[in-house]
Chain A
Amino acid sequence: MIVAEKKPMEEVIKEIKDYKNILLLGCNECVTVCEAGGKKEVGILASALRMYFLNQGEEKRIDEVTLERQCDHEYLEEIRDRIDTYDAVLSLACGVGVQFMADKYVSIPVYPGVNTCFLGATEKRGLWTERCQACGQCILASTAGICPISRCAKRILNGPCGGSTNGKCEISKELDCAWQLIINRLKAMSRMDDYEILLDIKDWSSDRAGGPRKVVREDVQE
């Protein structure tokens, strides 16, 4: 899923302080799972903002809506009949949702309420870690199911580098060395000989390097 984290309160206040009628728009997908922008977080942020502006002696209307998804026309349409009653939208969706909102409702200012961080997994409640950088050409078959592009600080395809120490990365003792994990897996699968297969120079044109990407499936288009 897409992992995001809440923006600091001060930053959010700076974004919306000049507007009177504000819609806080949550999303029921990834940002709900990572507890950054779901219904619960929309509620908490709305209360905090109301209290802040009240203390400042400012009168604001802050409404709360959480959509099933903000990256889908169908659900974003649900607010069409009321969107004109707001001066601005603070979206707690990922960057995709914020932009889809901006595309659809051209004249309404929309602000991000979260920082979109990465594609990752929930290790445990309150801990999310990166697993994928969406390079568009998956190499996991060659790396024992562990991705060095997203999990090695130097995205080294033929690792580990000389900085790997006690299974940890040179940039942090908290961070596992991706290549140590790959080697552990190769060992567990009795496939250590595969370690010596050189991974070719990568074609990064399917990564962000190739420009904005799209996936087209004509067979499912209506």
Chain B
Amino acid sequence: MKEKTPSKLEKILASGNLAVTSECGPPRGSDPEAIIEKANLIKDYVDAINITDNQTSVTRMCSLAACIRLKLMGLEPVLQMVTRDRNRIALQSDILGAASFDIHNMLCLSGDHQSFGDCASGQNVHDLDSMQLIQTVRRMRDEGKFIGGDEIKRPPKMFVGAAANPFADPFEIRVARLAKKVAAGAEFIQTQCIYNLDKFEKWMEGVRDRGLHEKVHILAGVTPFKSAGMARYMKNKVPGMDVPDEVVKRMSDRPKDKQAEEGINICVESIQRLKEIKGVHGFHVMAIEWEEKVPEIVQRAGLLPRPKM
């Protein structure tokens, strides 16, 4: 996989190193300190930082502005963009805006349904879907063309990513769906949080059978549980999440004050096992509102030091 952009994340992946990314959710207000503080906690332990785009449909500071904050700090942002809130004009316009600040990574998503958030009575857009957004940004970069066909002056240089959920249903099309995203132009994948490692291994087997692991960099997603309650919540309430009973039990068998530690242990052990899977090229550590634990996870998982590019 030859480098096509100035993205540091792309360089690390192309060099054959395991990449580490993490993510920060922007604040529900306009104070930039919230994002700066979170970024400072993790910046020396990860290669790039995703900024979520109104995740779970709750209105927050926009992803693009928060990415610019990271850029001003000299960090490497991954701009998450969902197709829920913006039509093709706004999406292309925001891609250009990001490119004007030399933001070089983007993750194309459809986004949670707005009924989960604070504007349940709002419209959704979905003018494009996530695959079509991948196609759009690739065309903007590779052909220098807008969707409408007009030429772009100084095209964006985005390393293009997508999400994959190996655990959503139906399982039988999960590999085919990845193949479709790769065909659309995805260059890296960040997966849904992995707790069911057996199922993930089975998915990766299918991925390798089709040679997809040589066409796209797969970053395995992990999220540490803070408590047994969180494990139960993720299992029962979060759509498309697969948390096996034994993992929930492992958390709930520990006394309350030891559960956070156990959550970190599970996360570190998962990374160690995932490292052994052929085709896993890195990790996406999503420590939800627990960014201060990212350094410990990355260190204990043996992913330090991060390569300098």
Among the 9-residue stretches B12-20, B30-38, B176-184, the one with 4 or more Cβ atoms under 8 Å from chain A is B176-184
Q: Mark A161-203, 1 if CB is under 8 A from B, else 0.
A: 1111111001100000100100100000000100110101100
With the chains together, A200 CA to B115 CA distance in Å? Answer: 27
Instruction: Report the 10 A-B pairs with minimum CB-CB distance, sorted nearest first.
Output: A162-B165, A170-B239, A163-B239, A158-B131, A162-B240, A156-B129, A162-B168, A201-B132, A171-B113, A154-B126
Of the candidates A154, A196, A201, the one whose C-beta lies within 8 Å of that of B180 is A196
* B12 nearest CB across to chain A (Å): 26
B112 pairs with A157, CB closer than 8 A: no
In the complex, what residues of B have CB within 8 A of residue A153's CB?
A: 113, 115, 124
Q: Mark A201-222, 1 if CB is under 8 A from B, else 0.
A: 1001000000000000000000
A201 touches B136 (CB 8 A): yes
List chain A residues, Cβ under 8 A from B126: 154-156
26 residue pairs bridging A and B, Cβ less than 8 Å apart:
A153-B115, A154-B126, A154-B129, A156-B110, A156-B129, A158-B180, A161-B110, A162-B163, A162-B192, A162-B240, A163-B168, A163-B239, A164-B239, A164-B240, A165-B240, A167-B170, A170-B112, A170-B239, A171-B113, A177-B169, A183-B170, A195-B176, A196-B176, A196-B179, A196-B183, A198-B183
If A162-B163, A201-B147 touch, whether A171 touches B115 (CB-CB below 8 Å) is yes
Residues of B within 8 A of A159 (CB): 129
Determine the residue in chain B with the shortest Cβ distance to A163: B239
| Residues from chain B with Cβ under 8 Å of A166 in the complex | 169
Whether A204 contacts B127 in the complex (CB less than 8 A), given A164-B168, A164-B169, A171-B113, comes out as: yes
- The answer to whether A198 touches B184, judged by C-beta atoms less than 8 angstroms apart, is yes
The smallest C-beta distance from B218 to any residue of chain A, in angstroms, reads 15
A197 to chain B: closest residue by CB: B180
Given the complex of chains A and B, what is the CA–CA distance between A161 and B129 in angstroms?
Answer: 9
The distance from the CB of A53 to the nearest CB of chain B, in whole angstroms, is 33
8 more contacts with CB within 8 A, not counting A162-B239, A165-B169, are: A153-B124, A154-B111, A163-B240, A165-B239, A170-B113, A170-B240, A196-B179, A198-B135
Nearest-Cβ distance from residue B114 to partner chain A, whole angstroms: 9
A112 at the A/B interface (Cβ < 8 Å)? Answer: no
Asked if B145 lies at the interface with its beta carbon under 8 angstroms from chain A, I say no
Interface residues of A (CB under 8 A from B): 153-167, 170-171, 177, 180, 183, 192, 195-196, 198, 200-201, 204
User: Whole-angstrom distance between the alpha carbons of A115 and B231 in the complex?
Assistant: 42
Q: Is the CB of A201 within 8 A of B240?
A: no
A201 with B88: CB separation less than 8 A = yes
Binding site for A on B (CB under 8 A): 83-84, 88, 110-113, 115-116, 124, 126-132, 135-136, 147, 163-165, 168-170, 172-173, 176-177, 179-180, 183-184, 192, 239-240
Bound Cα distance from A155 to B113, whole angstroms: 11
B211: min CB distance to chain A, Å: 14
Is the beta-carbon distance between A180 and B169 smaller than 8 angstroms? Answer: yes
Contact, CB under 8 Å: B135 / A201 = yes
Q: Which residues of B contact A164 (CB under 8 A)?
A: 168-170, 239-240
The chain A residue sitting closest to B166, CB to CB, is A162
Which A residue's beta carbon lies closest to that of B129?
A: A156
Bound-state Cα–Cα, A199 to B278, Å: 31
Which residue of the partner chain B has the closest CB to A201?
A: B132
CA distance A156 to B177 in the complex (A): 13
What distance in Å separates the Cβ of A184 from its nearest Cβ neighbour in chain B? 8
In the bound complex, how far is the Cα of B273 from the Cα of A123, in angstroms? 49
| Closest beta carbon of chain A to B235's beta carbon, Å | 12
Shortest distance from the beta carbon of A65 to any chain B beta carbon, whole Å: 36
Which chain A residues border B132 with CB–CB below 8 Å?
157-158, 200-201
CA–CA, A160 and B127, complex, Å: 16
A165→B113 CA distance, assembly (Å):
14
Bound together, the chains give a CA A126 to CA B290 distance in angstroms of 49
Interfacial chain B residues near A192, Cβ < 8 Å: 176
Most buried by A among B132, B168, B173, B240: B173
Q: Chain A residue with minimal CB distance to B84?
A: A154
Q: Which of A165, A200, A201 contacts B168 (CB 8 A)?
A: A165
Contact A201 B112 (CB under 8 A): no
- A183 contact set on B, CB distance < 8 A: 170, 172-173
Q: B169 contacts which chain A residues (CB < 8 A)?
A: 160, 164-167, 177, 180
